[in-house]
Amino acid sequence: MLDSNESLAELTKEDTGIDFLPINNAQPKRLTPKQIVSFNDQGYISPLPALSVDETQWHRDYFDRLLDNLADFRDSRDAYSIMNYHDQCKGIWQLAQHPVILDYVEDLIGPDIVCWTSHYFCKLPSDPKPVAWHQDATYWPIRPTRTVTVWLAIDDVDISNSPMEFISGSHTLGAIEYQKASDNAVLAQEIPDASTYGTPYANILPAGSMSIHTSTLIHGSKPNQSDSKRRCGLTLRYIPPTCGVLPYAISSLHRGIVCRGNGFPWGHIPEPAGEDLSPKPWHRKQVNAKNSK
Ligand SMILES: O=C(O)CCC(=O)C(=O)O
């Protein structure tokens, strides 16, 4: 198992280190043994109840306020730009520590848990942008590829407002070839003919519930087909602290929140004092590049 930076430095381009590591947990605390089998066989578990009715309403109101605050900046950021703000926004930081969510995650990755990245995927009504079919692991420098993603629904998600779709069983195929996604897609990579790798599953979720998927699973979503219903979910990505990072991307782990246990050598983001959506360095670069044209 790759668990130190020394072994990561030895990874070659051909040996991507992108593999699914099955979960072996005979006594899960919150998941059922059947759900663990489903994670191993299909690459995801869904649906899972998570937030109470009051917490769900709080989260929706909180996200609505974040979107309003973002608009006040009047820069080029959009409804997908609230990415990696768990280090500047108290509400996101606290959601990453939600005990019910962490109990599910603990059953899959063990009692030491780090949230290393987060992202709201918000499709406004009639949003024309797809999230092209992709594997998270081909974007990320984390090795071994043990990240599990919690997708926490803020809005009710049904077929009409374009749920995330999973290609069941595709997580065991290693790194899958991709091409550049079309210009209007949310993310940059696209796996062509994804349905040849397995059966698509529509991740329909009531608000406040969640799914969990592994980073080697092919997934994506269509443009929002509904002209009245928003479709927003918060992704929280968790690893055990034994995961390392490829040498070119060490800073990725410096934004981790230690959620449970210890043993994480990369640091710990403390709870932010409030909500701060000021642009990240990569946004500033985009804005400067735009302004200099
Ligand atoms: O919300 C979506 O449509 C896509 C989310 C996604 O790609 C992810 O959770 O990794």
Residue ranges of the domains in the chain?
A: 41-291
pLDDT for 263-283, tens place per residue?
899 889 999 999 999 999 877
pLDDT for 110-159, tens place per residue?
999 999 999 999 999 999 999 999 999 999 999 999 999 999 999 999 99
Cα(21) to centroid of ligand 1, in Å?
21
pLDDT attached to residue 10: 52
Best residue for ligand 1 mutational test, from 117, 154, 212, 219 (most atoms within 8 Å of Cβ): 219
Which atom of ligand 1 sits closest to the CA of residue 149?
Answer: 9
221 lines ligand 1 (CB under 6 A): yes
Q: What's the average model confidence in pLDDT over 4-17?
A: 54
Better-predicted residue by pLDDT, 27 or 1 = 27
pLDDT attached to residue 27: 95
Sole residue written with tokens 């940059």? 188
pLDDT attached to residue 16: 75
pLDDT attached to residue 5: 45
Cα(121) to centroid of ligand 1, in Å?
6
pLDDT class of 44 with cuts at 50, 70, 90: very high
- Cα Rg for the chain, rounded, in angstroms? 18
Which atom of ligand 1 sits closest to the CA of residue 213?
Answer: 9
Q: Over the chain, what is the mean pLDDT?
A: 92
89 Cβ contact list (under 8 Å, min separation 6)? 66, 272, 274, 275, 276, 277
149 lines ligand 1 (CB under 6 A): yes
43: left (phi over 0), alpha (psi -120 to 50) or beta: left
Q: What fold does the segment set 41-291 form as a domain?
A: Jelly Rolls (2.60.120)
pLDDT attached to residue 293: 40
pLDDT attached to residue 248: 86
Q: What's the average model confidence in pLDDT over 173-197?
A: 96
